């Protein structure tokens, strides 16, 4: 069957359930994912006095050809973006500042250090998001930052967060789309604490001090990201989920849920509806934890599908800032971005092609047999044909044909880096 015919037949099977596929594809075009730059260089960054990765996170693998300059990283991102349908955003960390060989302390970083990123974002019609980097730094080596007992250390990180929020404002102003500043800190203890309250009080005070400095909401939005444990903070993390869920609600900030930051049996998909009842907006770091917060590349697994379903069936696309957070150095990094981002988009498209009102009604009526039967049958509906059509309409390769382009880019660009 010709490609177009395959699409028409697939479309009909969804349309018999009154799903308007044309409208769905228009909705898909508006989806914007915040793609994390750090998959491209194993969270190295470009600081002049670059430090070892710390903060209880780890990148494993030594696949050749990682980006080691801003130009290389932007080039690799461009390649990945050319294989992903739609217009998206790029998420930066403070360590990606460009300081012309000058040592600039983190509490001194300025918008000018991100001028090239903004110029590039304009050229590529991208939005930008931002993260202060409170790890991989001598002042974070004790595993404490905003909750550190030493006021001087706390003040350094408070100033860094505010310098970051200024950079975010600059992004928002220049690019015409608000930039999300997400604060994640590694603070915690390896072993059972004798006092949980004092560090949390200090974190609260530090955050209050940061947010006392107002920023323009149309340019900058603030988020806080929780975590359950990290390497070296197994027994206690100061910025836990309960801490930030309450802090963000009380202070009108976005609560950011990272799908790798909960107990292995806890599901972020199950949390979204509860959070949406109380928060106007939320943020996500979609990742794939394998036994721990391992940050594997996102696959189209049950949890990713469920996240897509919760976003779409609750009409929450406009209320959730969708970001990715994985880093795998054991495979081609451009492919990692492409696979993970395409999967995130697939999960949303899959969810848009389901008859949600009917399924909800079945539940209300107690017809759990039909609910299960339909939800299972839809898993093998010709969703792939609609995805392929969407990719081809958006001018990106269909099915696995993108892999050929990644391999060619690898031969011509990334592998040449290691041989120089
Ligand atoms: C680079 C980190 O993954 C990121 O800043 C943070 O979001 C995190 O998830 C730490 O586990
Ligand atoms: Mn994260």
pLDDT over 50 at 420, yes or no: no
Closest-CA residue, ligand 1 atom 11, reads: 57
131 lines ligand 1 (CB under 6 A): yes
Whether residue 169 is found in the same domain as residue 312: yes
Active site residue 295: yes
Query: Does residue 129 line the site of ligand 1, with CB under 6 A?
Result: no
User: Which DSSP symbol is given to 330?
Assistant: S
Domain match, 13 and 142 both: no
Task: Give the integer Cα–Cα distance in Å for 390 and 413.
Answer: 29
Residues 371, 387 within the same domain: yes
Which of 352, 375, 410 is where one domain is finished? Answer: 352
Q: What is the mean pLDDT of residues 1-30?
A: 95
Give pLDDT tens digits for 26-77.
999 999 999 999 999 999 999 999 999 999 999 999 999 999 999 999 999 9
For residues 85 and 210, give the distance between their C-alpha atoms in angstroms, rounded to a whole number. Answer: 37
Q: For residue 6, is pLDDT > 50?
A: yes
pLDDT at 413 over 80: yes
Average pLDDT, the chain: 97
Strand partners, 296: 288
Asked if 74 and 204 sit in the same domain, the reply is: yes
Q: Per-residue pLDDT tens for 234-260?
A: 999 999 999 999 999 999 999 999 999
Tens of pLDDT along 72-88? 999 999 999 999 999 99
Q: Measure 18 CA to ligand 2 centroid, in angstroms.
A: 38
Rounded to an integer, the average pLDDT of 198-221 is 98
Residues listed for the chain:
420
Dist CA 12 CA 114 (whole Å): 48
Question: What is the structure's pLDDT at 132?
Answer: 98
**Per-residue pLDDT for 419 more than 60?**
no
Tell me how far apart the alpha carbons of residues 57 and 135 are, in angstroms, rounded to a whole number: 9
With the CA atoms of 223, 228, 232 and 234 taken in that order, what torsion angle do they form, in degrees rounded to the nearest 10? 160
Pair type for strands 179-183 and 282-286:
unpaired
Domain count, the chain: 2
Of 378, 309, 387, 299, the residue nearest 340 (C-alpha): 299
Answer yes or no: are the C-beta atoms of 308 and 337 closer than 8 Å.
no
Region 259-263 average pLDDT: 97
**Ligand 1 contact, 282 CB (< 6 A):** no
Q: Is 411 a catalytic residue?
A: no
Burial 248-257 (b: 16+ CB within 10 A, else e): beeeebbbbb
Domain hosting residue 203, numbered range: 31-352
Return the pLDDT at 418.
72
Helix (H, G, I), strand (E, B) or coil at 234: coil
Mean pLDDT of the 199-217 span: 98
Pocket test for ligand 1, best of 42, 45, 57 (most atoms within 8 A of CB): 57
| Residue positions forming the annotated binding site for Mn(2+) | 261, 293, 295
C-alpha distance from residue 290 to each of 267, 271, 296, 298, 308 (Å): 13, 19, 7, 11, 20
**pLDDT above 70 for 219:** yes
Cβ–Cβ < 8 Å for 238, 185: yes
**Two tokens at 121?**
């974002």
Alpha helices in 110-181 (DSSP H): 115-123, 151-175
Question: Within 13 Å, how many C-alpha atoms sit on residue 131's CB side?
Answer: 27
What are the tens digits of pLDDT across the range 168-196?
999 999 999 999 999 999 999 999 999 99
In tens, the pLDDT along 339-359 reads 999 999 999 999 999 999 999
pLDDT band at 362 (very low <50, low <70, confident <90, very high): very high
Measuring from atom 1 of ligand 1, which residue has the nearest CA?
43
- Asked if 345 and 28 count as a contact pair (C-beta separation under 8 A), the reply is yes
Catalytic residue selected from 325, 328, 388, 410: 325
Say if CB 9 and CB 384 are below 8 A apart: no
Q: Residues 192-206: what's their mean pLDDT?
A: 98
Burial (CB count <10 Å: 0-12, 13-18, 19+), residue 243:
middle
34-36 vs 89-93, strand pairing mode = parallel
At residue 4, the pLDDT reads 87
Q: Using only C-alpha atoms, what is the Rg of the chain?
A: 22
Residue 3 confidence (pLDDT): 77
Query: Among the three residues 321, 352, 383, which one is the final residue of a domain in this structure?
Result: 352
Please name which ligand lies nearest the alpha carbon of 43.
Answer: 1
18 shares its domain with 157: no
Token pair, residue 220, equals 């900058």
Ligand 1: atom nearest CA of 227 is 11
User: Does residue 21 sit in the same domain as residue 47?
Assistant: no
How many CB atoms are located within 10 Å of the residue 32 CB? Answer: 16
Are 295 and 154 contained in the same domain? yes
Q: What pLDDT score does 2 carry?
A: 75
Return d(Cα 125, Cα 131) in angstroms, integer.
20
Same domain, 234 and 301: yes
Measure the CA–CA gap between 160 and 137, rounded to whole angstroms.
12
Q: Kindly provide the residue ranges of all beta strands, DSSP E only, lying in 238-395, ordered along the sequence.
A: 254-258, 282-286, 320-324
From first CA to last CA, the distance across the chain in angstroms is 48
Say which CATH number the domain at 274 has.
3.20.20.150
- SS3 annotation, 59-124: CCCCCCCCCCCHHHHHHHHHHHHCCCCCCCEEEEEHHHCCCCCCCCCHHHCCHHHHHHHHHHHHHC
Same domain, 9 and 53: no
Residues 83 and 4 in one domain: no
Report the pLDDT value the prediction gives residue 340, as an integer from 0 to 100.
98
Last residue of a domain, one of 323, 352, 381: 352
Is 263 catalytic? The answer is no
The first and second tokens of residue 315, run together, are 């009409």
Of 256, 166, 260, 265, the C-alpha closest to 219 is 166
Active site residue 191: no
Residue 252 shares a structural domain with residue 373: no
Q: Kindly state the greatest CA–CA separation across the chain.
A: 69
199: nearest Cα among 188, 185, 184: 188
Q: Which residue has a Cα nearest atom 7 of ligand 1?
A: 184
Same domain, 348 and 384: no
Q: Is 187 in the pocket of ligand 1 (CB under 6 A)?
A: no
Say if strands 236-237 and 188-189 run parallel, antiparallel, or are unpaired. antiparallel
């Amino acid at each position: 069957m010709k490609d177009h015919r395959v699409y028409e037949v697939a479309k009909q099977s969804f349309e018999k359930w009154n799903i308007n596929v044309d409208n769905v594809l228009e909705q898909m075009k508006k989806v914007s994912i915040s793609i994390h730059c750090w998959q491209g260089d194993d969270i190295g960054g470009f600081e002049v006095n670059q430090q070892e990765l710390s903060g209880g996170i780890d990148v494993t693998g030594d696949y050749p050809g990682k980006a080691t300059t801003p130009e290389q990283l932007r080039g690799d991102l461009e390649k990945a973006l050319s294989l992903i349908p739609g217009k998206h955003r790029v998420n930066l960390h403070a360590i990606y500042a460009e300081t012309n060989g000058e040592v600039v302390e983190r509490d001194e970083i300025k918008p000018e250090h991100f001028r090239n990123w903004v110029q590039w974002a304009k050229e590529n019609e991208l939005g930008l998001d931002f993260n202060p980097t409170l790890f991989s730094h001598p002042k974070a080596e004790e595993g404490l930052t905003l909750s550190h007992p030493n006021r001087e250390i706390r003040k350094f990180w408070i100033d860094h967060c505010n310098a970051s929020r200024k950079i975010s404002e600059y992004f928002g102003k220049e690019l015409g789309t608000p930039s999300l500043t997400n604060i994640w800190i590694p603070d915690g203890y390896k072993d059972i604490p004798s006092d949980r309250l004092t560090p949390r009080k200090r974190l609260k005070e530090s955050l209050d001090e940061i947010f006392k400095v107002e920023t323009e909401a149309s340019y900058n939005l603030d988020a806080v990201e929780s975590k359950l444990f990290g390497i070296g903070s197994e027994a206690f993390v100061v910025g836990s989920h309960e801490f930030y869920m309450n802090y963000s609600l009380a202070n009108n900030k976005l609560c950011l849920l990272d799908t790798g930051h909960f107990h292995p049996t806890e599901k972020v998909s199950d949390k979204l509806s509860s959070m949406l009842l109380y928060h106007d907006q939320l943020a996500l770091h979609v990742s794939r934890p394998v036994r721990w917060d391992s940050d594997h590349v996102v696959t189209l697994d049950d949890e990713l599908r469920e996240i897509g379903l919760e976003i779409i069936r609750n009409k929450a696309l406009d209320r959730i800032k969708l970001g990715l957070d994985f880093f795998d150095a054991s495979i081609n990094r451009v492919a990692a971005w492409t696979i993970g981002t395409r999967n995130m988009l697939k999960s949303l498209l899959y969810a848009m092609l389901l008859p949600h009102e009917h399924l909800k009604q079945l539940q209300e009526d107690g017809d759990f047999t039909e609910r299960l039967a339909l939800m299972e049958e839809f898993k093998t509906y010709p969703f792939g044909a609609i995805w392929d059509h969407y990719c081809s309409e958006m001018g990106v390769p269909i099915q696995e044909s993108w892999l050929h382009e990644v391999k060619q880019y690898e031969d011509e660009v990334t592998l040449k880096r290691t041989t120089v």
